[in-house]
Amino acid sequence: MTTHGRRRTRPLTLNHEPEAVTWAREKAGLTKRALAECVGISEQLMSEIESGWRSATPANLLRIAAVLNCPIVVLERKRSSAP
C-alpha cells in the first residue's frame, strides 16, 4: 500500500501485543466495531491496532483495557530486560 509515493511500513515498536488485544476482545464477546465505538476510535484504527499496523497510544490502550475489563499488563508489549 502506498500513500503519496511512500510505502507503508509497520511501526518498529508497539505499545501493545496485537494478539492479546484480539484475544481479550473475542473473550469479551465484542466485535471490532463495538470495541472501537466504546473506546471512541474508528473501526479502521481498531483493526490496525489488532493487526499490528498501528501502535495503540497509551491513552487508547488504557481505554481498551477498561472496556474489556482486562488488566492493562495483559495487553502491553512485553519489554526485554536483556541489553
pLDDT mean across residues, the chain: 89
Residues constituting the chain: 83
Enter the DSSP assignment of 70: -
Question: 3 burial class (0-12, 13-18, 19+ CB within 10 angstroms)?
Answer: exposed
SS3 state at 14: coil
Write out the residue range of the structural domain in which residue 62 sits. 19-74
Q: Return the residue matching grid coordinates 466504546.
A: 38
pTM beyond cutoff 0.85: no
65 is written with which cell numbers? 483495557
64: its cell numbers: 481498551
Confidence at residue 81, expressed as pLDDT on a 0 to 100 scale: 57
Does residue 67 surpass a pLDDT of 90?
yes
Please report whether residue 83 resides in a domain: no
Q: Establish if 5 belongs to a structural domain.
A: no
Q: Is residue 48 part of a domain?
A: yes
Q: Domain count for the chain, please give it.
A: 1
CATH of the domain at 69: 1.10.260.40
Query: Nine-digit cell at 46?
Result: 481498531
- Reported as a single tens digit per residue, the pLDDT across 13-41 is 888 999 999 999 999 999 999 999 999 99
